[in-house]
Amino acid sequence: MASIALYLLLLTGPVAAQFYKIDNNDNIRAAAKTLAYDLMSYYHGNESGQTPGILPGPPPAGDYYWWEGGALWGTMIDYWHLTGDTTYNEVVTQAMLWQVGPNRNYMPPNVTASLGNDDQGFWGMSAMQAAEQNFPNPPEDQPQWLSLAQAVWNTQADPDRHDATCGGGLRWQIPFANNGYDYKNSIANGIFFNLGARLARYTNNKTYAEWAEKTWDWVVDVGFMDKNYNIYDGAHVGTNCTDINRAQFSYNNGVFLLGAAYMYDFTRDAKWEERVNGLIDATFRVFFPNDTAFEAACEEHMTCTTDMLSFKGYVHRWMSTMTQVAPFTAEKILPVLRKSTQAAVNQCTGGSNGRTCGFKWASGVFDNSVGAGQTMDVLAAVSSLLIGQSKSPVTSSSGGTSVGDPNAGIGSGTISDNLPSITTGDRAGAGILTIVVVLTAAAAFGWMGTGK
């Protein structure tokens, strides 16, 4: 009997590992379709009594903060764009419009207790992506994708968001009462840079590009990005941003990479080509050992938060898109992304269906770490393999149909007195994010210090 059991184990192991095949475009689309279905099983916002747009949360009500809903819809817009599957388009549109807030700038009052510039920015990037990919436009009486992206950018460009501490730059949190308001970080400024670069290209308005360049320069000057293109998390304003948290997260690299690629396409300036190449090399060095996506700050000892478990997918998506706006990168990037995607699907062998995906792609085996982020990572990687068959991001002069409003959001970015009061419990919940970053950094330093 033991020999029979061993035989069956050997027989079923390879079969399970081959559930997702990515050897041709038809198989890639089939794999992406199944992954999209599994991912959307985590979303309940289109069910009776639930809130459209968000994944279950925020903690302790569920695992997911508000921003990850915005990231989810960017992933699903990409899925539609790359595969042609319209199954989820109405759900995406409902979700994206439900969360715009009363001023149509992705600042809904009920998320004030954990509203960061990066949180708002993720929704803005998904709106920008909808415009660039000609995702079906909302009804005329609803806010339009381009105007939503402009509203987010305008609120973040407001002088109220850019103070003199640390010589400029966006703070992490928007309300001054939130834990993290005293912190300036790479992701908030990286998203602002990213949106500015993309709006410049889409609208052909140089003002956006000037802001993007100014933001890049500040990030470098303050020390969040070093001469080797390592990008560090952030620092506190109380030290004039000298206490830099040197934890590195892959989505920081990804958001700056895509923004730099758009700046190259808009300006054709050689310095942006140099910066793109430098960032690619740094990203592969830190986050793609053996050509496989790896979340360096937390993956080895699995200290990753729910947020961090979703970062790999954004990097795959953004790096694949950059091969279209900066084609000189394709030869270097696409082979690595394909190898990484193969590693990703190889470990999707969990669950009763034999197709559930975990997080540790490099291990080659399912690690029992499951969730929306882990599934979103693999869907993003798989669908991005179709980038060569998809249309490049459009502009207002090359087929873009989304209606913009350059004044959208102006004057509406301040947290007003009529928002719900923030309780002690709310502050504690928001503060968890800050604490987690610090603890994760400590864990990262521990293993990096051993030379592993």
Q: How far is residue 155's CA from residue 427's CA, in Å, rounded to a whole number?
A: 23
CA-CA-CA-CA torsion sign (288, 289, 295, 296): negative
> Could you report the per-residue pLDDT of 3-33, keeping only the tens digit for each?
444 434 444 444 444 799 999 999 999 999 9
> Could you report the per-residue pLDDT of 128-157, keeping only the tens digit for each?
999 999 999 999 999 999 999 999 999 999
pLDDT of residue 227: 98
pLDDT of residue 18: 75
Q: How far is residue 213's CA from residue 411's CA, in Å, rounded to a whole number?
A: 23
88 Cβ partners below 8 Å, 6+ apart? 36, 40, 76, 79, 80
Query: Among 263-267, 299-303, 414-418, 431-435, where is mean pLDDT lowest?
Result: 431-435
pLDDT of residue 449: 32
pLDDT at 429 over 60: no
pLDDT of residue 365: 96
CA-CA-CA-CA torsion sign (368, 371, 375, 380): negative
Count CB neighbours of 291 within 10 A.
Answer: 15
pLDDT of residue 6: 42
> Percent of the chain having pLDDT more than 70?
88
Q: Residues 244-265, buried b or exposed e (16+ Cβ, 10 A)?
A: bbbbbbbbbbbbbbbbbbbbbb
pLDDT of residue 414: 79
- Residue 153 in contact with residue 209, Cβ under 8 Å? no
pLDDT of residue 412: 86
CA-CA-CA-CA torsion sign (95, 96, 99, 104): negative
pLDDT of residue 20: 97
Q: How far is residue 191's CA from residue 253's CA, in Å, rounded to a whole number?
A: 11
Indicate the average pLDDT of the chain.
Answer: 90
pLDDT of residue 416: 56
Coil, strand or helix at 169: coil
pLDDT of residue 413: 82
> Could you report the per-residue pLDDT of 322-372, keeping only the tens digit for each?
999 999 999 999 999 999 999 999 999 999 999 999 999 999 999 999 999
Residues in the chain: 452
> Could you report the per-residue pLDDT of 262-291, keeping only the tens digit for each?
999 999 999 999 999 999 999 999 999 999
> Could you report the per-residue pLDDT of 170-202, keeping only the tens digit for each?
999 999 999 999 999 999 999 999 999 999 999
- Structure tokens given for 239: 């030290």
Tell me the domains of the chain and their CATH numbers: 26-413+420-449 (1.50.10.20)
